[in-house]
Amino acid sequence: MGHIANVTYITLDGYVDVEKYRYVYFLIIFTVYVLIIFCNSIIVSLVVIHQNLHEPMYIFIAALLLNSLLFSTTIYPKLLIDFISVRQIISHTMCHFQYFMFYTLGGAEFLLLAAMAYDRHASICKPLQYPTIMTKTTVSVFLLIAWLFPTCLVIGSTILSATQTVCSFTLRGIICNNSVYKLHCATSRILSVYGVIVLLSIVFLPLLYIIFTYAKILLISYRSGKAVRTKAAQTCLPHLLVLVNFSLFCAYDIIILRLESDISKVARLVMTLQLMLYHPLFNPIIYGVKMKEISKHLKRLICQ
């Protein structure tokens, strides 16, 4: 797209037959976005309103759903604008802002899931010490770290990427993720190393901790009585399902940069839309159905 009025614009070249299916795309995305707002907001509201849900586990769930809502808002409004626009473009500055929000909130999701794993470990493996371990201060610190730590890390990679010289003005995608690196004139070694550090800090290390923690929980619950096993299954299974779902989303985002030239435009669009459509809806459905106390309040609300 190049420079227009001293502003660098980037063409989003990941769309397929926009003119032909413009209103179909718009209707689908708009409907899903409304459902995402509605479903996530309902669960968050239930946690806020009901006193018996003011426990660390449910507070973390509410934080996770709020994070999912913010994550969707980073993507969906721009998609809706693109579908009804003649040209699918984004300014260089706004592209990097979307990049920043995309990875900050993505990293926050992993850290929130890690905090939830710690909470479940304390609850199941140390039930007597649980009230003294998971205090309001501890929960507040975990929430602060979950959002502040990835913010501090991702802002560094965003600045490094934004200051690189741009030689290509066509992005092979529909959102500004790590594909923005393909726009640079040359590969930056500093950016590559820093990107690996960010990836390890907010994805792989929290993921390893979560896997290790749940493995320990499963081992202890297996050796314990039926009551402990039931509690572990009821409270840990939803978190594990959300973890697997989001891990697949992140794996696709990492792999797409490496295999970009080997994946057709249609396949890339379908895969991207599929992941963006069902992931933000998956969380509230899982927690609304699988978490007993939330499910109770949800059924009462529906009956009313």
Q: What is the pLDDT of residue 223?
A: 72
> 69-83, 140-154, 266-280: which has the minimum mean pLDDT?
266-280
Q: What is the pLDDT of residue 259?
A: 59
290 versus 16: the higher-pLDDT residue is 16
One-letter amino acid for residue 303 of the chain: C
CATH number of 2-303: 1.20.1070.10
222, containing H or E segment: helix 205-223
Residue 162 · residue 181 · CB < 8 Å: no
Distance in angstroms (rounded) separating the CA atoms of residues 63 and 52: 17
Contacts of 90 (CB under 8 A, 6+ apart): 9, 10, 12, 78, 98, 176
pLDDT, one tens digit per residue, over 35-90 is 999 999 999 999 999 888 899 989 999 999 999 999 999 999 999 999 898 888 99
**Percentage of the chain with pLDDT > 70?**
89
> 24-28, 29-33, 296-300: which has the minimum mean pLDDT?
296-300
Place of tokens 């409270």: 235
- Which letter, b or e, does each residue of 25-40 get, where b requires 16 or more Cβ atoms within 10 Å of its Cβ? bbeebeebbeebeebb
* 238 band by pLDDT with thresholds 50, 70 and 90: confident
Q: What is the pLDDT of residue 294?
A: 82
Structure tokens, 287: 């927690």
Contacts of 153 (CB under 8 A, 6+ apart): 107, 197, 198, 201, 202
Nearest to 236 by CA among 283, 280, 291, 282: 291
Place of tokens 């927690």: 287
| Domain chopping of the chain, boundaries | 2-303
Q: What is the pLDDT of residue 95?
A: 94
Q: What is the pLDDT of residue 188?
A: 85
Residue 105 · residue 117 · CB < 8 Å: no
In this prediction, residues 245-263 reach a mean pLDDT of: 67
Q: What is the pLDDT of residue 5?
A: 45
Structure tokens, 65: 């759903």
Residue 61 · residue 291 · CB < 8 Å: yes
Query: What's the number of CA atoms in the CB half-sphere (13 Å) around residue 263?
Result: 19
> Chain-centre distance of CA 238, in angstroms?
16
255 versus 145: the higher-pLDDT residue is 145
Residue 244 has pLDDT above 70, yes or no: yes
Place of tokens 């304390």: 122
Q: What is the mean pLDDT of the chain?
A: 84
Q: What is the pLDDT of residue 4?
A: 47
In this prediction, residues 151-160 reach a mean pLDDT of: 95
